[in-house]
Amino acid sequence: MEFLETVVKNKAEEDEVTVHLITTEDDFKSDQQLEYLEKMQESCLAIGIHFTWKFDSTGTIHARHIITDQGWKILLDRGLDIFQNYEMNEAFTFSNRLQKFRACKAFEVTYLKS
């Protein structure tokens, strides 16, 4: 969801953006995962983002990357799970509200121009 928030912050209000997620189904909380994806999709429609997803059932998905329609492939070695644990229910902590105040795990990002 925070990735989609970043897309919203950086797109022109009149622009329509498509985001397609390929992921694996959660082994333990698939019903909740599906509910969350549907809620994300519904929220996105109101602000000009066409969000879709599909579950990869091959069992071989591992690589984490973003492919843009401007010819970039962004390789994420850890995916988007880069933040150290923080208290999500603490309303008065800035790390709960703003990513720039969260401690991060070590990660690498590689940008490739296609």
Q: How far apart are CA 100 and CA 114, in angstroms?
A: 30
Confidence check: pLDDT of 70 > 70? yes
Overall average pLDDT of the 103-112 stretch: 83
Q: Which domains does the chain have, with CATH numbers?
A: 1-62 (3.30.870.30), 63-114 (no CATH)
Predicted local distance difference test score (pLDDT) of residue 79:
67
Q: Global pTM?
A: 0.74
First CA to last CA across the chain, in angstroms? 27
